[in-house]
Amino acid sequence: MFDSDGNKKILAATRFGGYAEQVRGMSDAIYGGGTVKLKTESETVEFQSLVKQYRRNVANDEIYTEATLLITDDRYSS
Q: What does the pLDDT read at residue 4?
A: 87
Domain ranges for the chain, please list them.
Answer: 2-76
Q: What does the pLDDT read at residue 45?
A: 92
Q: What does the pLDDT read at residue 75?
A: 64
User: If the chain, 78 residues long, is cut into consecutive pieces of 10 residues, what is the mean pLDDT of each piece?
Assistant: 89 95 96 94 94 94 94 66
pTM of the model: 0.83
Q: What does the pLDDT read at residue 6?
A: 85
Q: Where are the alpha helices (DSSP H) in the chain?
A: 20-31
What is the C-alpha separation between 41 and 21, in angstroms, rounded?
Answer: 27
